[in-house]
Chains A and B, each alone.
Chain A
Amino acid sequence: MNGTTATVGRDVGRILEALGGLMIVSIVVSLVWREWFGAVAFGASALVPLAVGYGLHRRFADADSPSRLHGMVVAATGWLLVGVFGSLPFLLVAWGVHLGLPTTIEGTPTLAAFRDPLNAVFESTSGFTGTGLTMTDNEEVLPRSLQWWRTFIEWIGGVGVIVLTTAILARPGSGSLTLYESEARSEKIHPSIVSTVRTIWWIFLLFTFVSILVLWLVGMPMWDAINHAMTALATGGFSVTDNSIATYDSAAIDAALIPIMLLGSIAFPVHYLILQGDLRNFYTDLQTRWVFIYMSAGSALLWAFLYVGPYDSPLRAVRYGVFQFVSAATCTGFQTAVDATNVALGAWPAQAQLLVAFGMFVGGAAGSTVGGIKIIRGLTLIKGIRYHVADVFYPDSAVRRLNINGRRLTETEANREFVEATIIAVLWTTFLVVGTVLLLVILPTEKFSLANAVFEVASAQGNVGLSSGITGPDSLPTVGKVAFLGHMWIGRLEIIPILVALRTLLNRGGMYP
């Protein structure tokens, strides 16, 4: 058996075992809500990834530790399969109700949308990637079991399925670092990667409990607080209400969610240092400092666009402008600007929509739960361009250094980091343009503008979930749903692992020289 197949098979098997475990854990929620059929659906769904995962894990138990290539292929394949297998609870519940199996779960058009496997896979992938674009028309009428599953997969996906698998199943020295890095993470809290991922989960759990109680205190019902705290912290954005956060029409809830979303957009190592008492990291860490600068500047600009645009009151413009920019730039995707309460995002002026799309493009700090190209890459690009332009003014013999986040990089190191940031930014933009053109071709031109299309693709690829009204079970054509699956997938893994996996696949298939 080929070494790559064995290593990839073994590690993907572990990821699927972890996915099966998540489904088993979710049975408790169905039982609490007395949705017996939900419990059966979770149990039956769990059997599939557990059986496949166990088979792969056992079959390739002696495989070599993963190399960098293996890590990328594992990440790409694992995330793809997690999206596919994670759709099973949606499919089973929807079909069970449709076929009249004994259940107390009510059949609704919203639930019926999940009888289409593509819709179910879309919802699952959107959840795991922390995107939050949805195939539901009304989340409120979904059974609690599925509301929970949507929330839970976003919460897990925010930190990462490989991080979860490493924390539970990996042993030290088994190539965990390679896998960890392939999931768009590089920061280490401890020398050991297993200790690092366990600390990440420790921080995430503690913040989750605090967030739940904060949201409950400002007026959310407990079930809503649990779900929204989990999806806000994971910067996912799935909601259990029909109109996202706009449902509450509460400035207190809007205000409470902003710091929770910001927490999710700050790197875990910084959280760890802050919990250790080193509060200076709020301003000494380059990315964290820029999270606040960039969110403030973006919110102020959006406020200006909205005040001279759709909102006649400066306070309303502040409330919606700040919340929506933070929601976009942290890649959360909660909406307070919807039709029912005010002016929907899709009806905002083009400059406001494009500013929000820019927020989604950049995202928050690397090493957090956000999408986008990440602030550190944006800063590297700016500093790198300045460095290269200034190069002309120095003699050839000059020895120059580039300072990034307290690190003094040599010319070789600076070039490497600049090239890496450039590649990600160029690929990100390329896929954004391709996706936008595709949407413009398949959507009715009289209904959606160019700004709407750019906004929606940036939202999918940045793993944000804000919608200008394009995404929906009926409004988005099948081609668009498939394309968005791709955008969410490449956005979550920062593109390169997907391209490496595709090249490996084509290479093995003899289609690549």
Chain B
Amino acid sequence: MNVRDLPIVRTIYESGADDRVFDGLLLAGPFVVVLIAGLGRSFVTELLAVAYVGVFLGYVLYRGIRG
């Protein structure tokens, strides 16, 4: 069974911008928020948040420049 076949995952893949990176960010979002909430503020969690926001912004720019 493919991950895409799971009920919530399938809805997200079918609803979005038809892009694997954005879908991945959306699926990872709640886990990242819960993880940071659980672990509190530290260098590692800040790095994680920076990475998430950085990937989002960087990818929007990348698609814009490429497209």
Would A278 and B25 count as touching, CB distance under 8 A? no
Output the least CB separation between B18 and chain A (Å).
Answer: 8
Task: Known A205-B26, A279-B64; judge A213-B14 contact (CB<8 A).
Answer: no
* List of B residues within 8 angstroms of A195 by Cβ: 15
* List of A residues within 8 angstroms of B64 by Cβ: 274, 277-279
Task: Known A216-B36, A222-B36; judge A199-B46 contact (CB<8 A).
Answer: no
Task: Known A205-B26, A206-B25, A206-B29; judge A276-B15 contact (CB<8 A).
Answer: no
Would A209 and B22 count as touching, CB distance under 8 A? no
What band does the interface of chain A fall in when counting residues whose beta carbon is under 8 Å from B? 20 to 34
Would B29 and A198 count as touching, CB distance under 8 A? no
Q: Would you give the 0/1 interface string for B41-57, flagging 1 where the beta carbon is closer than 8 Å to chain A?
A: 00000100110110010
A210 within 8 A of B: yes
Would B29 and A205 count as touching, CB distance under 8 A? yes
Tell me the residues in window 9-30 of chain B with beta carbons closer than 8 Å to chain A beta carbons. Answer: 11-12, 14-17, 19, 22, 25-26, 29-30
Most chain-A CB neighbours within 10 Å: which of B32, B46, B50, B64?
B64
Would B17 and A198 count as touching, CB distance under 8 A? no
Q: Complex: how many Å from CA A216 to CA B15?
A: 27
Output the least CB separation between A381 and chain B (Å).
Answer: 33
Tell me the residues in window 72-127 of chain A with beta carbons closer than 8 Å to chain B beta carbons. Answer: none
Task: Known A198-B11, A202-B12; judge A275-B29 contact (CB<8 A).
Answer: no
Tell me the residues in window 266-290 of chain A with beta carbons closer than 8 Å to chain B beta carbons. Answer: 272, 274-279
Would A222 and B22 count as touching, CB distance under 8 A? no
Task: Known A209-B32, A213-B53; judge A198-B14 contact (CB<8 A).
Answer: yes
Q: Complex: how many Å from CA A352 to CA B55?
A: 40
Q: Complex: how many Å from CA A275 to CA B12?
A: 15
Would A199 and B16 count as touching, CB distance under 8 A? yes
A214 within 8 A of B: yes
Task: Known A202-B12, A206-B26, A213-B49; judge A275-B60 contact (CB<8 A).
Answer: yes
Task: Known A202-B26, A222-B37, A277-B67; judge A213-B32 contact (CB<8 A).
Answer: yes
Would A210 and B53 count as touching, CB distance under 8 A? yes
A201 within 8 A of B: yes
Q: Would you give the 0/1 interface string for A210-234, flagging 1 where the beta carbon is closer than 8 Å to chain B?
A: 1011101100001100100000000
Partner of A199, one of B15, B32, B53, B66: B15
Output the least CB separation between A431 and chain B (Å).
Answer: 37
* List of B residues within 8 angstroms of A274 by Cβ: 60, 64
* List of B residues within 8 angstroms of A278 by Cβ: 64, 67
Output the least CB separation between B52 and chain A (Å).
Answer: 5
Would A275 and B22 count as touching, CB distance under 8 A? yes
Q: Complex: how many Å from CA A222 to CA B67?
A: 35
* List of A residues within 8 angstroms of B66 by Cβ: 277
Output the least CB separation between A457 and chain B (Å).
Answer: 37
Partner of B53, one of A201, A214, A223: A214
* List of B residues within 8 angstroms of A277 by Cβ: 63-64, 66-67
Q: Which residues of B contact A (CB under 8 A)?
A: 11-12, 14-17, 19, 22, 25-26, 29-30, 32-33, 36-37, 46, 49-50, 52-53, 56, 60-61, 63-64, 66-67
Contacts A209-B52, A275-B19, A279-B67 aside, 7 further interface pairs with beta carbons under 8 A come to A199-B15, A202-B15, A209-B25, A213-B52, A213-B53, A217-B49, A275-B17
